[in-house]
Amino acid sequence: MNNRIQQLRKENKVTQNELADAVDVTRQTIISLENGRYNASLLLAHKIAEYFGLKIEDIFIFEENDL
Amino acid sequence: MTGMFCAANATSNEEYKSILKKRIVIYAVLAIIGAATAVIALMFGKDDYTSGFFSGGGTGICIASVIFIVRSVLLLKNEAKLKTDRLKNCDERNCAISFKASRAAALGIFIAIYCAAFVFAAYNSLVATVLICVIVAYVLLYAIFWRIYSSKM
């Protein structure tokens, strides 16, 4: 599963620390999400989507083999 | 490395404070058990090895519990450090890592106990039996907790 977190973060000039604080996770989790090493839970995906004012599917890109 | 058991549900510092307060009570009980073990071992130990083993273990549990109590009390007094600790303990990635590490460690212990039981079977059948019983107890506990959690989720 890919995501646009890093892109959105840079577009909105948000640091990893600020995003981590806003969605109640550690900065390391944001780094792992951006690197694609970790997939967010539904709850975290919802928090991130809410933070950027977007829908979950606008941020997290499901591919054929994810489904 | 975060703790082996994540407090996954605290979404605010206030919730985490109540978790820490409960933990302080648990640590206090452990400290008392540790101290009591040490005292009883020193007073009624059959020989040097037995009294040394139990008093050492008891003292270790007592000291570790006191350290955790002090740490928890200090965290309760500092909001910034409390938040950092909460995020470390409740972060979903850390919990996922902890879960995977626990599974791997359990598998490792399983294999080690099984191998040790085979080696001890040649020298001391009692130790081998106890080791196998540990594996059986683990499997039984796993089955019990599986049923409990499957009814809750």
- Among the partner-chain residues B11, B94, B96, the one whose CB lies closest to the CB of A24 is B11
**Does the CB of A24 have a partner CB in chain B at under 8 Å?**
yes
Whether A26 is covered by a domain: the verdict is yes
Whether A30 is covered by a domain: the verdict is yes
**Does the CB of A31 have a partner CB in chain B at under 8 Å?**
no
pLDDT digits (tens, 9 = 90+) for A7-60: 999 999 999 999 999 998 999 999 999 998 999 999 999 999 999 999 999 999
Which of the residues B1, B79, B93, B99 would you substitute to probe the A interface, choosing the one with the greatest number of A C-beta atoms within 10 Å? B93
Among the listed ranges A8-12, B17-21, B50-54, B90-94, which one has the minimum average pLDDT value?
B50-54
**Does the CB of B93 have a partner CB in chain A at under 8 Å?**
yes
- Assign B6 a pLDDT band (cuts: 50, 70, 90): low
Closest residue of B to A41, CA-based? B92
Whether A11 is covered by a domain: the verdict is yes
The answer to whether B19 and A32 have CB atoms below 8 angstroms apart is no
Rounded to a whole number, what is the distance in angstroms from the first to the last CA of chain B?
A: 28
Whether A27 is covered by a domain: the verdict is yes
- Assign B9 a pLDDT band (cuts: 50, 70, 90): confident
Q: What residues contact residue A32 under an 8 Å CB cut-off, 6+ apart?
A: A38, B93
The answer to whether B48 and B93 have CB atoms below 8 angstroms apart is no
Q: What residues contact residue A34 under an 8 Å CB cut-off, 6+ apart?
A: A3, A5, A6, A9, A16
Structure tokens at A10: 């840079």
Sign of CA dihedral B71, B77, B78, B81: positive
Residue-level pLDDT at B5: 58
- Assign B153 a pLDDT band (cuts: 50, 70, 90): confident
Residue-level pLDDT at B7: 57
Whether A63 is covered by a domain: the verdict is no
Give the count of domains, chain A. Answer: 1
pLDDT higher than 70, residue B119: yes
Q: Which among B111, B86, B103 has a CA at the least distance from the CA of B16?
A: B86
Q: The CATH number of the domain where A51 resides is what?
A: 1.10.260.40
**Does the CB of B96 have a partner CB in chain A at under 8 Å?**
yes
pLDDT digits (tens, 9 = 90+) for B25-66: 999 999 999 999 999 888 887 788 888 888 899 999 999 999
Task: Identify the domain containing residue A47 by its residue range.
Answer: 2-56
Whether A42 is covered by a domain: the verdict is yes
| ipTM associated with this complex | 0.87
